[in-house]
Amino acid sequence: MFEDENKDSDNETTVPAPSAEQTDIPTQETDTTRMPRIPHIWKVSALVVAVLVVLGVAGVVWSTHFSTTVSAPTSSSSKATTTTQTKTNKTTVKWTPISLVSPDSSIYKLKQGKVYCTANSTTVLLPQANPATFKVTGDYAKDSTHVYANCDILTKAYFTSYSNNLASAADPATFVVISDSSGDSTPYTKDKNHVYYNDSSFVSIVPGADPATFAVISDPSGSYAHYAKDKNHVYSVYYANSYHTVILPGADVATFTVISDSFGHYTLYSKDKNHVYYRNAFSTVSVPSIDLATFTVIENSTGHATSYSKDKNHVYYGTYDSFITIPGADPATFSIISDPSGSHTSYAKDKNHVYYGSIESIVPVPGADPATFTVYSTIKVNSAGNEYDASEGSHLYYQGVLVH
């Protein structure tokens, strides 16, 4: 099916091909922590780049967002698995007395009997801090009277300023960091009064969240899957100048679950008894007109989820800000195209067409025959100086565009 990559070698040179991370759409961040700093995880505009930095997904392919060190399954599956998520609040994160904290391992430091904090290369004294009761975990700290985050004190005035919410100060006696089911910290914390979300710049109160029943949703591997819930609501992250946690409209608490891939890692898709949801760079949206019974996330040849999905009627594609039904795509024969090395690419095909997916859109490749379309492991250059990453007959293509 694939042409000889060394054909016409006298007239061609090869240059390294961009990796999948450079050409595909970032999926779930491959920041190995998957949080607590969102990723996350899109190079279209300055805003999108900023989103990626916050998401922790910069340089990560959307369709390979689910990378792992676990060996691929011996046989790949086109159907991602779905499992019930944990509902347990874990608070296994340990607090370490400031006197035992290594100066090189924390933003908080004890010097000459006083507590200092370093942020943005600037070290400041925390005059209110009580060294005798001051304890640290990650970027959080607390003593007998205050809670600290990112060198700020979480006072009532702080929350009024950042959250526009007349709330009480964080309570150090009951303040804890919420972990995922593997025991790793997440962006969420809570005390007896509120649940809080930390986007790495500031801490905001999660409106209406119930601290007693609030839990992050973990995938089967134990990692935080970017959703949370309490007895009343499902929560997702929303971006508008900064990240906040909001109620996911219409989501059913009892049946909401993230859809995972063959490795048990979360994908950009989730569902409940009524809807399928897609998480883009800015928010989570309910996808209309999906057949829930047959909906699956399409995996690549290594068993990792991509941003393609399908049901019995249609094939779908998720971009950085939207969810697209691919016109005319055949669900029964649709698949991701791998290059000769076995790595997946930005190209896909069905019995009728070849497609190229970018972070913005999915388009048919003009004139391409899916039976003979060839994708290369490296970018090639012909004698006329045309770069191409695929060919079909005498046609050369680069990122889905006919170049010769």
Confidence of residue 15 (pLDDT cuts 50, 70, 90): very low
The residue ranking higher by pLDDT, 191 or 8, is: 191
Task: Assign 25 to helix, strand or coil.
Answer: coil
**Position with higher pLDDT, 71 vs 362:** 362
The CA distance from 311 to 295, in Å, is 4
Residue 290, token pair as written in the block = 């999906």
On average, the pLDDT of the chain sits at 80
Q: Is residue 69 part of a domain?
A: yes
> Would you report the helix, strand and coil content of the chain in percent, each value rounded to 5?
5, 35, 55
Task: Tell me what percent of the residues of the chain surpass a pLDDT of 90.
Answer: 59
| 4, part of any domain | no
Reference 115, options 103, 125, 105; nearest CA is 125
Residue 185 lies in a domain: yes
Q: Are residues 236 and 334 in the same domain?
A: yes
Last-in-domain residue among 179, 200, 231: 179
Task: Say yes or no: 201 and 139 in one domain.
Answer: no
Residues 310-320 have a mean pLDDT of: 95
Q: What is the pLDDT of residue 61?
A: 35
Instruction: Determine the pLDDT at residue 224.
Output: 94
Mean pLDDT for the stretch of residues 226-238: 95
Q: What are phi and psi of 158, to 5 degrees?
A: -60, -50
Average pLDDT, integer, range 61-87: 40
Q: Is residue 156 part of a domain?
A: yes
Do 108 and 147 touch, CB atoms closer than 8 A? no
Q: Which of 351, 392, 278, 306 is nearest to 23 (CA)?
A: 306
**Residue 50 and residue 125 in one domain:** no
- Look up residue 88 and give its DSSP letter: P
**Structural domain count, the chain:** 2
Residues 314, 351: one domain? yes
What average pLDDT does this structure show over 163-188?
88
Same domain, 290 and 393: yes
Check pLDDT > 90 for residue 376. yes
| pLDDT of 375 strictly over 60 | yes
**In a shared domain, residues 131 and 71:** no
d(CA 126, CA 39) in angstroms, rounded, equals: 30
- Tell me: pLDDT of 320 over 70: yes
Residue scoring higher pLDDT (80 or 192) = 192
Q: Which of 155-159, 189-193, 225-229 has the lowest mean pLDDT?
A: 155-159
How confident is the model at residue 88, as a pLDDT? 46
155: in domain: yes
Q: What is the mean pLDDT of residues 282-287?
A: 92
pLDDT for 134 equals: 97
Task: Give the model's pLDDT for residue 92.
Answer: 60
- What's the average model confidence in pLDDT over 118-129? 92
Residues 340, 344, 346: CA angle, nearest 5 degrees: 115
Is 257 inside any structural domain? yes
Are 239 and 218 found together in one domain?
Answer: yes
How sure is the predictor about 291, in pLDDT bands with cuts at 50, 70 and 90? very high
Last residue of a domain, one of 161, 179, 197: 179
- Give the C-alpha separation, 227 to 219, whole Å: 10
Residues 250 and 354 in one domain: yes
In a domain, 3, yes or no: no
86 and 97 belong to one structural domain: no
Residue 50 lies in a domain: yes
- State what percent of residues in the chain have pLDDT above 70: 76
In this predicted structure, the answer to whether residue 264 has a pLDDT above a threshold of 80 is yes
Contact 228, 214 (CB under 8 A): yes
pLDDT band at 128 (very low <50, low <70, confident <90, very high): very high
pLDDT of residue 340: 82
pLDDT of 329 reads: 97
pLDDT band at 163 (very low <50, low <70, confident <90, very high): low
Q: 165 with 199, same domain?
A: no
**Among 115, 150, 179, where does a domain finish?**
179
| Least confident segment among 54-58, 76-80, 183-187, 397-401 | 54-58
Whether residues 290 and 162 fall in one domain: no
Are 354 and 223 within one domain? yes
Query: Residue 148 and residue 356: Cα distance in Å, rounded?
Result: 47
Highest mean pLDDT among 34-38, 46-50, 61-65, 320-324: 320-324
Q: Which structural domain range is residue 84 located in?
A: 9-90+180-402
